[in-house]
A and B are shown apart, each in its own frame.
Chain A
Amino acid sequence: MPHDTQGRIGPQDLGGLDGDSVDPSEHDLAQWERMVDAMTRLMYREKIFGDAAQLREGIEALGPDVYQRLSYFERWAASSARKCVMEGLVTQEELDERIAQIRERGRDGA
């Protein structure tokens, strides 16, 4: 029973689409996921995110392809970073540089 997907308000608008059966298994969160979860809370506290709509808007702005490819907290990380860049708190260059450093640390076995 195909469902007309026209008019979906964005990649997040899933209600009524066809899908696989639900996998009810439990997943423990990785440490970085716990960190991203807490980071968004701290961003609310510091009024960087003024409303839940701002975190959501940043997730929806990823577009359908990226939205579907990313895991849940990857989307949150992407939206949080975008917001901080837009607010001028960090630059994309700083983020890129730090990502390279973290990769190096990983290679050094730190």
Chain B
Amino acid sequence: MTPAFRVGDRVRVDDRYEPRHHRTPAYVKGKVGEVERVCLAHGRPEILAYRNDGGPPRTVYRVRLRQCDLWPDYNGPAHDTLEIEIFEHWLRPVEARN
């Protein structure tokens, strides 16, 4: 399968309710970052949590976010970052600002 995003793309972590098991923690939902790395593909946790066939694998990305974008009161330098693995079906494209 072809990954929808490339390294350097700006992406927003989808902020949606999901009643099933999933691996997108609340603190990154709705936040904007940049694709740092395109990783492997894996079945969706939302399905694999309940049965062994997770359906078509989905690409996992490492997304880099700025700490000051995650926490408005972040107590540290502006260059501090956080990286987290997010499945493709939890990412939305963000138009470049320029």
**Per the CB under 8 Å rule, do A and B touch in the complex?**
yes
B26-A53 in contact (CB<8A): no
Does B18 touch A at the CB level, under 8 Å?
yes
Residue pair A57, B50 in contact (C-beta under 8 Å): yes
Q: Which residues of A contact B25 (CB under 8 A)?
A: 9, 13, 15
Chain B contacts of A60 at CB under 8 A?
21
CB within 8 Å of A: which B17-40 residues: 18, 21-29
- Interface residues on chain B, number (Cβ under 8 Å): 21
Answer whether residue B51 sits at the interface, using C-beta atoms and an 8 A cutoff: yes
Residue of B nearest to A1 (CB): B73
A9 to B18 CA separation, bound complex (whole angstroms): 8
* Contact between chains at B27 and A16 (CB < 8 Å): yes
Interface string of A42-57 (1 = CB under 8 A from B): 0000010011011011
Please give, as numbers and ranges, the residues of chain B lying within 8 Å of A106 by CB-CB distance: none
A37 vs chain B, min Cβ distance (A): 21
Interface pairs A-B: 8 shortest CB-CB: A50-B52, A57-B49, A53-B49, A51-B48, A16-B27, A57-B21, A53-B45, A53-B48
